[in-house]
Amino acid sequence: MIYTLTLNPAVDVSMTVDRLDPEHKLHCSQPQYHAGGGGINVSKAIHRLGLPPGLSTDFYGQIARFAKTRHIRMVFDAAGESLQKALDEGVFLIKPNFGELARLVGVDQLVTEQINKAAHELIGAGKCEVVVVSLGPRGALLVTADGHEFIQAPPVKKISTVGAGDSVVGGIVYALSQRKSYADMVRQGVACGTAATMNPGTELFQRADAERLLNWICQQHPQPPTS
């Protein structure tokens, strides 16, 4: 195995012009964008020489197997065959969207009324313990063996949805690390994911926005009183 470490990753932008003339506007070629930085460039060079074999479709399944034997709660957010391989081993939590959940249970599509049943089918088969179904701008549906709960997303002015799903997962994992309940876990995830849509490009979310939106969500979905 060859490992490279890149502490200075970058996006290299290159373009060409026919000539250099300080007195006139110059028209350049279409810019080319490439991931760069020391270790990244070394890895690209090695890849062109044919060294690394690539990952097998069972790679995530191997990780899931490793996690289970060590009682590690694996949160999995992927699609396709790699997701199915991981589920064959059993994971703690998955975050599929409508289409991904449908494919996991072997149907072309799901209507809203079928989502909860499909998620329970995966849990009952031992594929996972928790399913958080991403509903896009509507929010998310939390499903466990004990029941389900819909978490509504706050209404915001959306600028970019890039990284919103990753922000949901980040919020979920953070809440789990803080020993929050499953419901609070999804509230945190939805708050972070929604906050990410308020920023341009790949900026993800601002903490202040996520905290404000989390307060809104908690007001809409208060916790039941404890005895």
Position 29 scores a pLDDT of 87
Q: Is 225 helix (H, G, I), strand (E, B) or coil?
A: coil
Position 49 scores a pLDDT of 83
Position 78 scores a pLDDT of 85
* Cα torsion 88, 94, 95, 98: sign: positive
**CATH classification at residue 96:** 3.40.1190.20
Q: Is 73 helix (H, G, I), strand (E, B) or coil?
A: coil
Pair 41, 68 in one domain? no
Q: Which domain holds residue 31?
A: 10-48
Give the whole-angstrom CA distance, residue 99 versus residue 108. Answer: 8
In a domain, 173, yes or no: yes
Per-residue pLDDT of the chain (227 residues; tens, 9 = 90+): 777 888 888 888 888 888 888 878 888 888 888 888 888 888 888 877 877 667 788 889 999 999 999 999 999 998 888 889 999 999 999 999 989 999 999 998 898 889 999 999 999 999 999 999 999 899 999 999 999 999 999 999 999 888 899 999 999 999 999 999 999 999 999 999 999 999 887 778 999 999 999 999 999 877 665 54
Pair 37, 86 in one domain? no
In a domain, 225, yes or no: no
Position 204 scores a pLDDT of 85
Pair 65, 40 in one domain? no
Which of the 8 DSSP states describes residue 97? B
Q: Is 70 helix (H, G, I), strand (E, B) or coil?
A: coil
How far CA 183 is from CA of 58, 95, 160, in Å, comes to 31, 14, 26
Pair 94, 158 in one domain? yes
SS3 content of the chain, % helix, strand, coil (to 5): 45, 15, 40
Query: Total domain count for the chain?
Result: 2
Position 193 scores a pLDDT of 95
Comparing CA positions, the residue from 135, 124, 61 lying closest to residue 101 is 135
Pair 149, 191 in one domain? yes
Tokens of 73: 């709660």
B/e letters for 105-144, b = 16+ CB within 10 Å, e = fewer, are: beeeebeeebbbebbbbbbeeebbbbbbbbbeeebbbbbb
Please state the φ and ψ torsions of residue 54, each to the nearest 5 degrees: 90, 170
